[in-house]
Amino acid sequence: METLELFIDGKFVPAKSGDEREIEYPANGQIHIRAAEAGKEDAKAAIASARKEFDTGNWTKTTYAQRGEILRKVANRLIAERDEIGRMESMDTGKTYAEGKADVDDVASVFNYYADMAYADGGRVVEPSMDGISSKIVHEPVGVCALIMPWNYPLLQASWKVAPALLAGNTIIMKPSELTPSTTHYLTKILIEEGVEPGAVQLLLGSGAEVGPVLTESPDVDMVSFTGGLVTGRSIMASAAGTVKRVALELGGKNPNVIFADADMEAAIDNALTGIFLDSGQVCSAGSRLIVEESIKDEVVNELVKRAANIKMGASFDEGVETGPLISKEHREKVMAYVDRAIEQGAKVLVGGEIPEGELAEGYFYPPTILGECTRDMDCVHDESFGPVLTVETFSGDTDEEKEANALEIANDTYYGLAGAVWTSNAGRAERMARAMRHGTIWINDYHPYVAPAEWGGMKQSGNGRELGPTGLAEYQEIKHIWHNTKPAPAGWFKN
Ligand code: NAD
């Protein structure tokens, strides 16, 4: 069985300790590949190499245009090898093969977008209105960037960081989730083959708890960009404080999906289903908190329950499968504990909630689950389950203003602020709600789409960074002011 190696100082290498980790296919729990398990010494070697390349290597001497061309070639490779890369993604995550391949298309679009940005992103000239002075703002790379990724969209989350970080001229140390190393490992090969300086890319595989602190505490790492859970994000922010490095955090969400009675009901219900159950709810922006107008609650919830019960779970490559398993046994236990607690606190399981038996029993499957009778004091409406679990709350009011105010209060009653949606046929209400909801992305009459030119990121404890769009590039740039006096003269302040 193949072992994926680390990429350090221009070479694929085993871990110094020789340790390896077995990677499971979550649909049946079988080991399908092995990966080197990096330790602290590997992390230090990766930092030293990335530092050396940044300080004295060739990568920072390349131009934006040259780096953009490399990103374009990477995008073309991804498109050409989409089926195989999609297969790797499905094997590591258990997601359906259709989703695995669709992810690769999205990844390619991110590389293409930042390839285009090579020509769009200039500095700016400042007009100081002083004779002989030229003043300009230039964009420079931040330095050595540690990029730490989660397991739900391994290559996609990597691309949101890797493409802008490389375009800006940084050197990078990638650390995918220990559960899903394959596609980031393959991307490393593609990056090098398509022209990225070998020292500009380092790859660490394995436990974040082991190598993470080495990266986040090192004075030789200038920035950490992290996508993952809130608890890990907090600890990364704290450990990065000692060196005041730049920290960009993309964390979890408990995302409200608000449906008013005047919405297009067919579209709202269908998208509510996709919003929460796509990829078995393991999506940071999953519409996990349904907030529905009281008068249509029964209609909406009955239909959702009926359709949720019919979602076809199964292995990635099986015909007709609509969603896969959860990532691991441990993660399924967490989701089950979340549902148990919800029941203890008074929620009622309307559908799902039981681990499937029969042919799915070997994998880490958990069925689409809907919790009714949820109230705002329950943990389930505030905490992220990161599984296929939908909570239902209602709002009402005697007037339109009251209804909106009530819906809004519930939608904003969360310590997260990643994403949300509002469903209504009233354009004014849609705009008012979208502006007042404190979440980084708001969909009006839709759920889940995103595009590479539009920023993505969270408010409140969903994080402090923005990925994609021009801001996603700015995350990886230092802004420098250069003041040039072409007519130097004594300042004349001190007279003696
Ligand atoms: P996680 O926090 O457990 O792990 C994320 C990464 O951090 C992994 O690579 C892990 O190895 C590493 N890590 C763990 N401990 C570390 C430490 N002490 N220092 C440095 N790195 C460490 O998260 P996960 O379970 O992989 O991902 C699920 C979470 O990610 C969910 O909360 C989800 O909402 C969030 N997420 C957010 C976004 C977004 O765009 N905001 C996107 C995808 C996922």
pLDDT (tens digit, 0 to 9) for every residue of the chain, 496 residues total? 999 999 999 999 999 999 999 999 999 999 999 999 999 999 999 999 999 999 999 999 999 999 999 999 999 999 999 999 999 999 999 999 999 999 999 999 999 999 999 998 788 999 888 899 999 999 999 999 999 999 999 999 999 999 999 999 999 999 999 999 999 999 999 999 999 999 999 999 999 999 999 999 999 999 999 999 999 999 999 999 999 999 999 999 999 999 999 999 999 999 999 999 999 999 999 999 999 999 999 999 999 999 999 999 999 999 999 999 999 999 999 999 999 999 999 999 999 999 999 989 999 999 999 999 999 999 999 999 999 999 999 999 999 999 999 999 999 999 999 999 999 999 999 999 999 999 999 999 999 999 999 999 999 999 999 999 999 999 999 999 999 999 999 999 999 8
Cα 22 to middle of ligand 1, angstroms: 19
pTM of the model: 0.97
Please provide the DSSP assignment of 232-290 as one string: HHHHHHHHHGGGT-EEEEE-----EEEE-TTS-HHHHHHHHHHHHHGGGG--TT---EE
Cα 448 to middle of ligand 1, angstroms: 20
Task: Say yes or no: CB of residue 228 within 6 Å of ligand 1.
Answer: yes
Instruction: Identify the helix (H) or strand (E) that includes residue 165.
Output: helix 154-167
Please report where in the chains the tokens 């359906």 appear, as a residue.
96
pLDDT at 199: 98
Sequence-distant (≥ 6) Cβ neighbours of residue 235 within 8 angstroms: none
Give dist(CA 325, CA 363) in Å, integer.
7
Q: Residue 119, class by beta-carbon neighbours within 10 Å (0-12 exposed, 13-18 middle, 19+ buried)?
A: exposed
Cα 484 to middle of ligand 1, angstroms: 44
Torsion of CA 86, 90, 91, 95, to 10 degrees: 180
**Whether residue 81 lies in the annotated active site:** no
Q: Could you report the per-residue pLDDT of 200-248, keeping only the tens digit for each?
A: 999 999 999 999 999 999 999 999 999 999 999 999 999 999 999 999 9
With beta carbons less than 8 A apart as the criterion, state whether 160 and 472 touch.
Answer: yes
3-state secondary structure of 307: helix
pLDDT at 128: 81
Residue 292: both structure tokens together: 């529905």
Q: Nearest to residue 197, comparing CAs of 49, 381, 307, 320?
A: 49
Give dist(CA 61, CA 71) in Å, integer.
16
> Ligand 1: which atom is nearest the Cα of residue 236?
19
3-state secondary structure of 25: strand
pLDDT at 462: 98
pLDDT at 232: 98
Q: Residue 12, class by beta-carbon neighbours within 10 Å (0-12 exposed, 13-18 middle, 19+ buried)?
A: middle
Residue nearest to atom 13 of ligand 1 (CA): 208
**Whether residue 22 lies in the annotated active site:** no
Q: CA angle, 367 as apex, 361 and 372 as ends, to 5°?
A: 145
> Ligand 1: which atom is nearest the Cα of residue 232?
2
Cα 130 to middle of ligand 1, angstroms: 50
Alpha carbon 165 to chain centroid distance?
15
Q: Which of 284, 374, 393, 475 is catalytic?
A: 284
Q: Nearest to residue 47, comparing CAs of 154, 184, 199, 191?
A: 199
Q: Residue 472, class by beta-carbon neighbours within 10 Å (0-12 exposed, 13-18 middle, 19+ buried)?
A: buried
With beta carbons less than 8 A apart as the criterion, state whether 182 and 33 touch.
Answer: yes
Residue 76: both structure tokens together: 């073309």
Give dist(CA 276, CA 289) in Å, integer.
9
Q: Nearest to residue 179, comparing CAs of 252, 253, 282, 275?
A: 282
CA distances (Å), origin 277, targets 93, 164, 323, 331, 419: 15, 30, 8, 16, 16
Q: Could you report the per-residue pLDDT of 296-329, keeping only the tens digit for each?
A: 999 999 999 999 999 999 999 999 999 999 999 9
- Residue 323: DSSP 8-state: B
Task: Say yes or no: CB of residue 182 within 6 Å of ligand 1.
Answer: no
Q: Nearest to residue 167, comparing CAs of 473, 489, 456?
A: 473
Q: Which of 250, 384, 393, 467 is catalytic?
A: 250
- Among 211, 232, 278, residue to substitute to test ligand 1 (most atoms within 8 Å of Cβ): 232
3-state SS, 467-480, equals ECHHHHHHCCEEEE
Please provide the DSSP assignment of 417-481 as one string: -SEEEEE-S-HHHHHHHHHHS-SSEEEES--S---TTS-B--SGGGBS--BSHHHHHHTTEEEEE
Q: How many CB atoms lie within 10 A of CB 473?
A: 22
